[in-house]
Homo-oligomer: A and B are copies of this chain.
Amino acid sequence: MFFARREVPVKTQRLNIIREVLTQTPVTSQDELRRKLRRRGIHVTQATLSRDIHELQLLKGPRGYALPNGNGAATAGEEDDQPPSLKEMMDGFGLRAIQAMNQVVLKTVLGGAQPVAAALDLEGWPEIAGTIAGDDTVLIICTDTRQAGEVATRLRTILQG
């Protein structure tokens, strides 16, 4: 018995073929995928496919497995999209916070409003009913004036830390 020279990691090759199969035919279970791969000469178990699917970050919906959105290309890429922390965003973009009745107007660098608002939403502060972001201004709506004062203070603290 001898083995063919291994120029390419078998696994990588298999991952590529999996993606190809998915663009061609719908696949609704790992076992179905296993059978389809077998027809192409690739013989692995369901367990391996489970791991492959996880690695490819495939999504499973009612129509079966699908490639991750858009940027499907980057294979081995592994940077986590950690939700950006509010502090980071504020340090990077935030300028100042001004209270106005039950609202707080947060000025940012041009283009910074959207990301700051997103980070703020993610924090889910209870005082905040919602935010709306323009280009360099985030409007923060609080349920009442007192809460707005609270929020403004806290934002200023972050701005200075």
Would A141 and B100 be within 8 Å (CB), given that A59-B59, A62-B54 are in contact? yes
A49-102 contacts to B (CB < 8 Å): 54, 57-62, 66, 68-69, 98-102
| In contact, B105 and A129 (Cβ under 8 angstroms) | yes
| In contact, B59 and A60 (Cβ under 8 angstroms) | yes
| In contact, B143 and A98 (Cβ under 8 angstroms) | yes
**Which one, B68, B102, B132, B144, contacts A137 given CB within 8 A?**
B132
Integer count of this chain's copies in the complex: 2
Interface residues of A, count at CB 8 A: 39
| In contact, B141 and A103 (Cβ under 8 angstroms) | yes
A114 proximity list for chain B (CB < 8 A): 135
Give complex CA distance A58, B129 in Å: 26
